[in-house]
Chain A
Amino acid sequence: MTNATYSIAIQASGIRASIGNTEILHDISLGLPQGRWTSIVGPNGAGKSTLLKVLAGLMPHTGSVKLLGHDLHSLPHRTRAQQLAWLGQNESSGDDLTVWDVALLGRLPHQAWLAAPSPKDFAAVEIALKSTQAWDWRQRSLGQLSGGERQRVLLARALAVQAQVLLMDEPLANLDPPHQADWLGVVRCLLETGVTVVSVLHEISMALHADELVIMAAGRVTHQGACAHAATHRALEAVFDHRLSIHPLAGQWVALPN
Chain B
Amino acid sequence: MTLRSLSFLVWSLILLSLAMTVLGVCVGSAGFENLIGPLLHPDLDPAATAMAQQIVGEIRLPRTLGAWTAGALLGLAGAVAQGLFRNPLADPYLLGSASGASLGVALALAALGGGAGMLGGSMMNGGVAVSVFSGSVLVRLGLTGAAFIGAVLAVLLTLALSKGVQHTLRLLLAGVVVGVVLGAATQLVLLFSPDSLQAMQAFMLGSTAFVGWAACALMAGVWLLCVSAGGLLGRVLDGLSLGEATAHSLGLPLGSLRIALVGVLALATGTAVAQTGLIAFVGLAAPHLVRSVIKTTHGRLMLLASLMGGALLMAADTLARWLIAPQELPVGVLTAVLGGGYLLWLMHRNSRGFSGGSQ
Contact = CB atoms under 8 A, between A and B. Distances in A.
A247 to B, nearest CB: 37
Contacts, number: 87
A207 to B, nearest CB: 22
A241 to B, nearest CB: 31
* Dominant SS among interface residues on chain B: loop
Given A56-B249, A81-B250, A141 B1 contact: yes
Interface in B237-267: 238-239, 241-246, 248-253
A77 B251 contact: yes
A57 to B, nearest CB: 8
A80 B242 contact: no
B163 interface: no
Given A91-B242, A92-B242, A97-B241, A105 B1 contact: no
A84 B249 contact: yes
Interface stretch (A7-15, A63-71, A106-114, A179-187): A106-114
Nearest to A107: B250
Contacts of B291: 96
A106 B59 CA distance: 51
Given A91-B242, A96-B295, A97-B241, A109 B251 contact: yes
B248 A58 contact: yes
Given A58-B249, A84-B249, A88-B246, A95 B356 contact: yes
A92 B86 contact: yes
A77 B252 contact: yes
Interface residues of B, number: 26
Contacts of B296: 96, 98, 101
Given A95-B356, A98-B295, A101-B297, A81 B246 contact: no
Nearest to A82: B251
A53 B245 contact: yes
A221 B244 CA distance: 27
B7 interface: no
B167 interface: no
B245 A93 contact: no
Point out which of A77, A94, A106 has the most chain B C-beta atoms below 10 A from its C-beta. Answer: A94
Contacts of B249: 56-58, 81, 84-86, 88
26 contacts: A58-B249, A77-B253, A79-B251, A81-B250, A82-B251, A84-B249, A87-B246, A88-B249, A91-B243, A91-B244, A92-B243, A94-B238, A94-B241, A97-B238, A97-B297, A98-B295, A98-B296, A105-B239, A106-B250, A108-B251, A108-B252, A109-B250, A141-B295, A141-B356, A157-B242, A161-B250
Given A88-B246, A96-B291, A108-B252, 8 more contacts: A56-B245, A85-B249, A93-B243, A96-B295, A109-B250, A139-B1, A143-B356, A144-B356
